[in-house]
Amino acid sequence: MAEPTKQGEPKQGEPILQVENVWYRYLGRFPALAGVSLAVYPGEFLAVLGANGSGKSTLLRLLAGLIHPERGRVRAFGVELRPETLEDAAFGPAFRARVGVLFQNPDSQLFNATVEEEIAFAPLQMGLDDGEVARRVEAMLALLDLGHLRDRPPFQLSGGEKKRVALAAVLAQGPEVLLLDEPMAGLDPRSQDHLADLLAELHRHGRTIVMATHDLEAVRLLAGRVVVLGEDHRVAADGPPEAILQDTALLRAANLISARGRRSRD
């Protein structure tokens, strides 16, 4: 992966997102998060590292207001994310517009007849005029190198192409916070480099980014801070990437490097 320029981390003001002692089990019995707390500050690029099943996607779903904790609280922009606050006519739509989510499986967010319509969907929902919608569609097609696929049905595309369409659709909405679940996974080397540059650029322009991954190289290149989720579904570490990526005992305990020292890639 090529080396994008990493920004220093501004850690100032009130947290933009906050998770306080959150517990979550699926179906009331499969543990996913066990007493997790963390705060995300405006302008941070936070990587959430953890082995399969440690709870990364669950944490992003909670931050996106798609599920709610059994115990503890999740807050965004100072407001607790609960079904009632998300249904509020002022807060709900504003929250959805400000926070863009890229799911681990792009199939769960592609539902339009063509790539172009997929990208236009959120801007149209936001009530933007036709000229602005067309401008955003062209910009996103160019940004994610999708021009040649504009008339194709998203469900017929390859995994990596679907991921790029899903990201284009999320970015077209112009969110200030991006919750990205393994954005590099399944992309070929050129697309990975391109995406790494794009994420670094979005971050430089002030986006707050939370990225779940087990790709240590992507963390090294991009993140300003790392939270490691252990296989016990708790926060095993929270700190600068330089320190965490050197901590072999921690990485081994969190199942991020193999006993033979091999590093995890997406």
Q: Which of 58/208 has CB closer to Mg ion?
A: 58
Which of Mg ion, ligand ATP, none sits in contact with 12, Cβ below 5 to 8 A by type? none
Q: Does 57 engage in binding with Mg ion (CB under 5 A)?
A: yes
Q: Which does 54 bind (CB under 5 to 8 A by kind): Mg ion, ligand ATP, none?
A: ligand ATP
Backbone angles phi, psi at 188, to 5 degrees: -75, 165
Closest approach, Cβ 28 to ligand ATP, in A, equals 10
255 binds Mg ion, rule: CB under 5 A: no
Short-list 194, 126, 184, 133, CA closest to 160: 184
**Residue of 15, 22, 47, 58 that binds ligand ATP (CB under 6 A):** 58
* 263, β-bridge pairs: 257
Q: Which two tokens stand for residue 259?
A: 């006993």
For residues 208 and 177, the answer to whether their CB atoms sit within 8 Å is yes
The 8-class DSSP code of residue 156 comes to: G
* Least distance (Å) between residue 217 CB and Mg ion: 18
Question: From the list Mg ion, ligand ATP, none, which binds 111 (C-beta under 5 to 8 Å, kind-based)?
Answer: none
We find the least distance from the C-beta atom of residue 162 to Mg ion, in angstroms, to be 16
Compute and round to an integer the Cα radius of gyration of the chain. Answer: 18
Residue 234, number of CB atoms within 10 A of its CB: 15
Binding status of residue 264 toward ligand ATP by CB under 6 A: no
- Chain residues 101-160 in contact with Mg ion, contact rule CB under 5 A: 104
Amino acid at 110: L
Tokens of 192: 């990975």
Q: Return residues touching ligand ATP (CB under 6 A).
A: 26-27, 30, 32, 50, 52-58, 104
